[in-house]
Structure 1
């Protein structure tokens, strides 16, 4: 017969499990928002690394046509949510940390009670007309960062905020309690011009120029708290590993040319952010270091429970690294690994929930943001 201690232990275990499920449920519903969360709204921008549903299988990037199918979303949501992962993204972990619900995609036309996600899978920093002019439209999502800014301006105008100079009270009411999250943007710009006559230097200049104008427009309207996420270590992505020459490798075992390209992009972006800090001294601008967060996991995978650095968890064995662009994740011919948490890469380009959580923790709770994200939270708390 089991002892009373055994029953207590079993009851405790059940309580912990149920509590965990309730917490996960609660943080994504409106009824459990604490009285004074750090921010009342999050407005997010970016591409597929941040998109929570502005695209689906019929509107997303051509190479990944099955995001509305299983096994996308299998780990956390247990059904596809049009996120390019098996579960949550960095933006989802951010929302949870701030005790806010998951952000609705702009195109869902959901009321923006706690914010809106404008990020679009396949989106570029550079305006679409550039790619049309250069006959690079095979795999281009129509929306760019400029489109996302237009959408955001519509939200601002609906709240009476037009310009900080003409509607200061209304703009202040929006931005005093809003966190602006600019997710990774620019990786698609480089990818879409691969093999063309357009140089990476041209893309770097145009993409950073576009991002700079975007940030300046938002800061000029009165944004006070902004986090800007850099590019990841794109040379470590499955697609890069599968396409690059085998002698193009760095000390991480990743594609050297791609990683250098992203690293250089981030260096210039950080310099621009430093200029903005001087230009807008009342704003708190944080750089979220996606590149070094990613590299940190690659260098020490066991710490994060990762066993496979480069193969896609969901894909087809007929291709290199379990990636076949004719049989991508979610298609009838693709299969998924039984343990996504042991993989960095989910479908060949996008990451697993486990990897998103690892980099989110490093950027939001660790030392991979400049200044640390917690400094931003402390400043917000002091300002009320």
Structure 2
């Protein structure tokens, strides 16, 4: 998510996208192997979604994540990650004992960089069309399918992470959507996401996991109006609605599943809340971002034509939870991931 306002999210621009996932293109393992939970130490991580998982797919010419001060902690320069350092994908890959998978745009670099999987996530994307240059989830899955068909990705011991962080709702709001309209728009988002997840499983991915929505109302883009003192309860109520519908959809997918592999939810909402509720124990003014735009017209990393920076930067990113108006710092992601480890251990064993 990149922008804020008093309501919650954004508008559906071009209608529902349909996942092309016909039986002729399924790629199940020939030995028929599948698992009921995440396999232990999977060799490949396949990543789909938005800026919470993107490790460099957006073009350098348009993405603020390729400008200073992004990447100041890791790898000491901008790398396309929307943070000062590592993002959720990197922590999950380390947890799975593999290297972080290469971004899709670098796919031509050869087998050695493909052996750990591939990252198709692209900042700003949603399940529907959201912003220019950000491929929606259906397009990402179609790109993945082409890689499988070309033999670039072996689906044995494969785990897919799908990170959906709210860009559909940002787009909905920016195009005039209302809080009342979310009652009908949110089920459309969930229905399309459900089709995407089912398609990934049908293509032969052994394990599929999807994030629920984090507490969006606690993002600095929402808390700025209260001088970073309190979360937006209306936005968080909308998040709970989305997450409840998601849980019901995943339950239905798992009940109707024919091949034995379950789809799991990664509970980012409670992962974030666990850290946010601890407040000053580690992060001090926890709702205030490290990289703060001088006005709402600017963003972290923006400089004018004279090179004048239009943002301020904290002295220690490792002491703040949020990096910019929408994304955690590396330290923030590390704290969230630590709170999720018990659940992830259960899923993996």
Q: Equivalents in 1 of 2:74, 2:325: separation in Å?
A: 20
Q: Equivalents in 1 of 2:238, 2:289: separation in Å?
A: 22
Equivalent residue for 1:9? none
Spell out the pairing of 1:232-243 with structure 2 (5 A cutoff): 232-242=214-224
* CA shift for structure 1 position 241: 2.0
* CA shift for structure 1 position 144: 0.5
SS in 2 for 1:300: helix
> Unaligned regions of 5+ residues in structure 2, if any?
1-38, 304-308
Per-residue CA shift, 1:32-52, capped at 9, x if unaligned?
A: xxxx98111100011001000
For residue 190 of structure 1, the aligned residue among 166, 169, 179 is 169
Per-residue CA shift, 1:77-105, capped at 9, x if unaligned?
A: 11110100001011101111122112211
CA contact (8 A) 1:72 1:330 kept: no
* CA shift for structure 1 position 179: 0.8
Q: Equivalents in 1 of 2:102, 2:200: separation in Å?
A: 20
> Unaligned regions of 5+ residues in structure 1, if any?
1-35, 61-65, 132-138, 162-173, 367-371, 379-384
Q: Equivalents in 1 of 2:257, 2:331: separation in Å?
A: 36
* CA shift for structure 1 position 286: 1.8
Equivalent residue for 1:16? none
* Number of residue-to-residue matches in the alignment: 297
**After alignment, is 152-161 or 200-209 more displaced?**
152-161
Q: Equivalents in 2 of 1:116, 1:160: separation in Å?
A: 10
Q: Equivalents in 2 of 1:141, 1:262: separation in Å?
A: 26
For residue 147 of structure 1, the aligned residue among 124, 139, 150 is 139
Equivalent residue for 1:54? 57
Equivalent residue for 1:359? 336
Q: Structure 1 50/338 Cα, relative in aligned 2: closer, same or farther at 3 Å?
A: same
Q: Equivalents in 2 of 1:375, 1:346: separation in Å?
A: 30
1:117 equivalenced with 2:99 (yes/no) = no
For residue 240 of structure 2, the aligned residue among 259, 263, 266 is 263
Q: Equivalents in 2 of 1:37, 1:278: separation in Å?
A: 23
CA contact (8 A) 1:314 1:334 kept: yes
Q: TM-score, normalised by structure 1?
A: 0.72
For residue 271 of structure 2, the aligned residue among 293, 300, 304 is 293
* CA shift for structure 1 position 335: 2.7
CA contact (8 A) 1:219 1:280 kept: no
Equivalent residue for 2:8? none
* CA shift for structure 1 position 141: 4.2
Q: Equivalents in 1 of 2:152, 2:66: separation in Å?
A: 36
SS in 2 for 1:207: helix
1:227 equivalenced with 2:209 (yes/no) = yes
SS in 2 for 1:143: coil
SS in 2 for 1:286: strand
CA contact (8 A) 2:50 2:125 kept: yes
* CA shift for structure 1 position 155: 1.2
Q: Equivalents in 2 of 1:330, 1:160: separation in Å?
A: 37
Q: Equivalents in 2 of 1:196, 1:80: separation in Å?
A: 31
Root-mean-square deviation over aligned CA pairs? 2.3
Equivalent residue for 1:348? 325
Q: TM-score, normalised by structure 2?
A: 0.79
Q: Equivalents in 2 of 1:103, 1:217: separation in Å?
A: 21
Q: Which structure has the bigger radius of gyration?
A: 1
Q: Structure 1 285/327 Cα, relative in aligned 2: closer, same or farther at 3 Å?
A: closer
Per-residue CA shift, 1:123-150, capped at 9, x if unaligned?
A: 0112x2xx6xxxxxxx544411111111
Spell out the pairing of 1:15-30 with structure 2 (5 A cutoff): none
For residue 71 of structure 1, the aligned residue among 69, 80, 98 is 69
CA contact (8 A) 2:223 2:230 kept: no
Spell out the pairing of 1:150-161 with structure 2 (5 A cutoff): 150-159=142-151
1:376 equivalenced with 2:343 (yes/no) = no
Q: Structure 1 335/215 Cα, relative in aligned 2: closer, same or farther at 3 Å?
A: same
Equivalent residue for 1:278? 255
CA contact (8 A) 2:49 2:121 kept: yes
Equivalent residue for 1:26? none
SS in 1 for 2:123: coil
* CA shift for structure 1 position 184: 2.5
**After alignment, is 327-336 or 50-59 more displaced?**
327-336
